[in-house]
Amino acid sequence: MKSLEYPSGKQIIKQLQMAGVRYVVSLPDIVTSSGLLWPIAKNNDFELIRVCKEDEGVSICAAMSYNGTRAVLLMQQTGLMDSLNSIRAIAMDYQLPVVMMVGLQGKEPEPKPEQSSVYGVRIIPSVLEAMSVSFSLIQEPSDALTIQDRIGSCYADSKPHVFLIGRTPIE
């Protein structure tokens, strides 16, 4: 049996820095806490903005885009589902570059999200497709290497993008 490789939190953070992200808007997320959230909180290159609800984070990231400030919203899929109307109205209807990193709580390490036995994980790709929200999976170490370019495209095209974190990033 092949051993699984996990994405590097350091590589993800480096990609965020190279993409010009300076603000990380976050809620507690067990999937990304140790590999991303805690290191970001200690990193002087980022300003961490803690919010109580995910839809607040969508609004903050969208507002920052008006002055060219790049931000990322860090949350888990339950919060993504809770904030779908804000994403629809703010990111889709107004075509604003809201970048989200979504930890898939409860997802097994091996399968793709749409093959998960966890219903709340399995439906996420279909929901995003139905809304025409672009997304990509960060599950293998090499997947993190696409982050800078995808964030650049998000801002260039003024459209949202969701990074689905399929395996817990390691430090």
**Residues 27/163, Cβ–Cβ less than 8 Å:** no
Instruction: Give counts: helices (H), strands (E), the chain.
Output: 8, 6
130 located within any domain: yes
CATH value at residue 140: 3.40.50.970
pLDDT tens digits for 103-155? 999 999 999 999 999 999 999 999 999 999 999 999 999 999 999 999 999 99
Task: Tell me the C-alpha distance between 133 and 167, whole Å.
Answer: 21
Residue 82 lies in a domain: yes
Residue 171 domain-assigned? no
Q: How confident is the model at residue 2 (pLDDT cuts 50, 70, 90)?
A: low
Note whether residue 113 is domain-resident.
Answer: yes
Residue 2: inside a domain: no
Residue 170: DSSP 8-state: B
Residue 124 lies in a domain: yes
**Domain limits for position 28:** 9-165
How many folded domains does the chain comprise? 1
